[in-house]
Structure 1
Amino acid sequence: MTRTRVLILITVAVLTGGTATAGAAVVDGGTKEAAKPKATLRAAHGQYEGAPSNVPAGGQNSAGVSCPAGQVPTGGGARTSGYDIYITDSYASGSGWTVLGKNIGSTQQSLRAVVVCTVP
């Protein structure tokens, strides 16, 4: 039992010491300084919504939105006015995004395309 306690204490000491220095780096003066991440933002991504398209009860319709001039779509999706609309397709289309939706409800709903754009 004593040997097990000693091994546990040694393991805890090694693990604690390893994690305490994992984020530190030695600089020229020999002092420790927190490591700085190297990630940088490459391009801004704007999100844009298109005008709503009416989807009649029991029917289907499409909606689209374009990126501003000089930008390209990198992703997209849809927003709906209710839970009765199922998105049946969502895809990049030229310089924008297109979505198709089917309304399984008994009242008219609306569908909007959403696009995420970036400068190439």
Structure 2
Amino acid sequence: MRRITFGSAIVAAVIVGAGAGFAQGNSEAASKAPFTQHFEERQLRPGELARIEVPCPFGTVPTGGGFNVAADVVVQTSAPQPNNWLVVAKNTTNVFKGARAYVVCSTP
């Protein structure tokens, strides 16, 4: 997992690849800094429906999150959970495809 620390309350998503998404979680915590960003990358088997959960460190909550997926990977869910960000994605091809989920965390 990779960690990035942000110094301001503004969080932006960079769109790279075939599909990407970003959404906001706990808006009260979103007004506080610093933020940390954590990633989980997976190679999806042909036809696989994957549940990718990216946890926040202890004492922090998700304030946003999202995904970046290869072409022909369909994201069915991208949403905050109490302590993590959940992405559910399906590889609709007959070859391995990449999917990346991320969460932005801050103290409540």
Residue equivalent to 2:103? 115
Residue equivalent to 1:100? 88
Q: What TM-score comes out, normalization by structure 1 length? A: 0.57
Q: Which moved more, 1:59-68 or 1:103-112?
A: 103-112
1:74 equivalent in alignment to 2:27: no
SS of corresponding position for 1:110 = strand
- Given that 1:62 and 1:99 are in contact with CA atoms closer than 8 Å, whether structure 2 keeps it comes out as yes
Number of residue pairs matched? Answer: 79
1:84 is displaced (CA, Å) by 1.6
Distance 1:53 1:64 in 2: 11
Write 1 or 2 for the structure with the bigger share of strand. 2
1:49 equivalent in alignment to 2:39: yes
Aligned-pair RMSD on alpha carbons? 1.9
Write 1 or 2 for the structure with the bigger share of helix. 1
* Higher Cα radius of gyration: 1
Distance 2:90 2:67 in 1: 12
Residue equivalent to 2:17? none
Residue 63 of structure 1, aligned match among 52, 72, 79 = 52
Over 6 Å off, 4+ runs: none
Distance 2:98 2:68 in 1: 8
1:62 is displaced (CA, Å) by 1.2
1:105 is displaced (CA, Å) by 1.8
Amino acid at match of 1:105: T
1:72 is displaced (CA, Å) by 0.4
Which 5+ residue runs of structure 2 have no aligned equivalent? 1-7, 10-30
Distance 1:119 1:93 in 2: 15
SS of corresponding position for 1:105 = coil
* Identity over aligned pairs, percent: 32
Which 5+ residue runs of structure 1 have no aligned equivalent? 1-39
